[in-house]
Structures are given as C-alpha cells and as structure tokens.
Amino acid sequence: MTHIRKKANYLFACIILSLPWTLHAQKPSGQLSVGYSIPVAGITAEKMKYAKSHGIDYLEVSFAAFIDSNRQFKLSDREMIEKVKQAKADASAAGISIWSVHMPYGPHIDLSLADEKQRQGVVELHKKVLRLCTELKPEVILFHPSYYLGLNEREVRKSQMIKSALELHPAVKEIGAIMVIENMLGPELLKDEKRERPLCRSVEETMEIMGKLPADIYSAVDMNHIKNPEKLIRAMGTRLRSIHVADGNGREENHYLPCSGKGENNWNEILAALEEAQYTGPFIYESKVKDISELKPCYDTLYHAYTSFKHSR
C-alpha cells in the first residue's frame, strides 16, 4: 500500500510540473499584477527586459509624443505603424502585455468641445489613434472626459462628451477592447476666474455622467485626482475596469509613489474598495519614481499591510 501511495504521489507531482508555469505559479488570491504608464515612443527591448526582471507584467501606453497641440500627427502613417509594431514586439518578447492605451487629451483634444466641428475633429483624431491601437491589442482604451471648461457651459459640455463617447464606442469594440472614462481632478468647481474644472470632477458628477452612458462603457479611477479615492471606487463598483495608482492630496497633481510617505491616500481603504469592487486588472502606476524597480516592492508592501489590516478587523 505504501509503495502504491508513493507511486501515486510521484505521478501527481509529474502532472503538476507538466502544467503551464502560469497555472502553478500564479499570484496569491487577491494579489494584482503590476504595471506602469509609458509612451509608445519610450518602449525599447532593453527597458522591457529590465521592467520584466523587476516584476512588471503590464503597460499603459500613450501616443502623446506623436501628436501636436493642433491635432496633427508628427510622423507619417507608415512611420507610426512601424514604431507601434516594434513597441509591441519589444514588450511581447519580454513577456509584458499592453493593458491599456491612454488616449491623447488637451485644450484642443477634448471630447466635450462645444463647437460641433471641433468636437468632430477630436473624434476623428481618436479614431485614427484607435486604428494604431489595433497593432497593440490592448484590453482597455482610456479617455479623459474633458479638459478645463469655460464658465457656465458645463451642461453643454456633458452632452458633447456623451455624444463623443457614443460615437467612439463602436470603434473601441471593433478592436476588441473596452472603453473606460477617467475621473478628473476637481476639489472645487473653479480652476480660476475664467475656467471650470474638467468633467467627472467628483463622485456625484462621475456617477451622473456614467449613468447616461451604456453599461458597457466602464470607469477608470485615478487615485491622484480625488480625495478619498476609495469612495469613487465603491461608487463605481463592478463598473470599475482600470486604475491609475499614485498618491496625492486630492487638490493638486502630485503623482507621488504610494510608498513615498508624501500623500494622504489611505491605501488599506483603497485596497479594500478594490476588493469589494471585484477589481482584477493590474495595479497600473502613474507615479513619479526614480526607478521602476521600486514599483513591485511598493505594491507588495501595500498588499501585505492590507492583508494584516484585514485580518485584524
């Protein structure tokens, strides 16, 4: 009987070892993969190998370096396609996936522009960028709802933003991705005497706007854009599909690394809210950091502190 049991154990071990590495070396339950933001133009084979060696599994990429402030592309279509293909190849060779694409934004690249002709121009720019995204095979396409607004035009800008989202949504789905809308920084309505804060500046406004969009347009929560980001995470619930990780004070664009000790975010509450929302996407950093080797250890520190906090409650 002992001989049979030993043989059975041996066969079981062989089966386990023959399974794909990802199956028997996956992260502990509840622990997220780690990623960070980088321009497509900044991706190189060397950087990707280095990132992977330090625990990076995902990227959020952007095309800002390819586009000027007047919505003009700086490179030819052929040049851009070649650069995108090379970036994808370098990331894939290192074992890193493209999680999301951060779409361009700015005063003239604003989905909510009141001038209809200008708004249509922004939509066309985004559609061209989405064609480039086909080469990257991202899971998520992230949009800012607006840039700063003029005074007393908020309702018009909400309507324009929703119109743009509805026009772009089919193009996003066509490349096999989902659309997410990011919350924006807005501790108070006015930025200055001539401008209002962007759309989605509060939990309430984000809920209002998201409530007017189809259920398969999702939410992205930027933890640097709001005081107590856990409140927005809980409000979005399972509609939350992507995150930007940074610490701050909810009043300024700080982009502190969470482990820097400079920000005011409560990371135990944030991780609890992510768990409640059943968020399983990567922990995408949008933080100022000296070296990306700091990112995975920082997440591990936050996660282990949270598990201790959770078990102590």
Query: Where are the chain's structural domains?
Result: 28-312
Length of the chain: 313
Q: How confident is the model at residue 30 (pLDDT cuts 50, 70, 90)?
A: confident
Q: How confident is the model at residue 27 (pLDDT cuts 50, 70, 90)?
A: low
H-helix or E-strand containing 244?
Answer: strand 240-244
What are the pLDDT digits (tens) for 111-142? 999 999 999 999 999 999 999 999 999 999 99
Cα torsion 89, 93, 99, 104: sign: negative
Give CA–CA dist 276/193, Å, rounded.
40
pLDDT attached to residue 93: 98
Mean pLDDT of the chain: 91
Give CA–CA dist 146/190, Å, rounded.
15
Residue type, 20: P
CA dihedral 94, 97, 100, 106 (to 10 degrees): 10
What are the pLDDT digits (tens) for 256-278? 999 999 999 999 999 999 999 99
Is pLDDT at 203 greater than 50 in this prediction? yes
Mean pLDDT on 182-191: 97
Give CA–CA dist 162/19, Å, rounded.
46
Q: How confident is the model at residue 17 (pLDDT cuts 50, 70, 90)?
A: very low
Class for domain 28-312, per CATH? Answer: alpha beta
Question: 3-class SS at 220?
Answer: strand
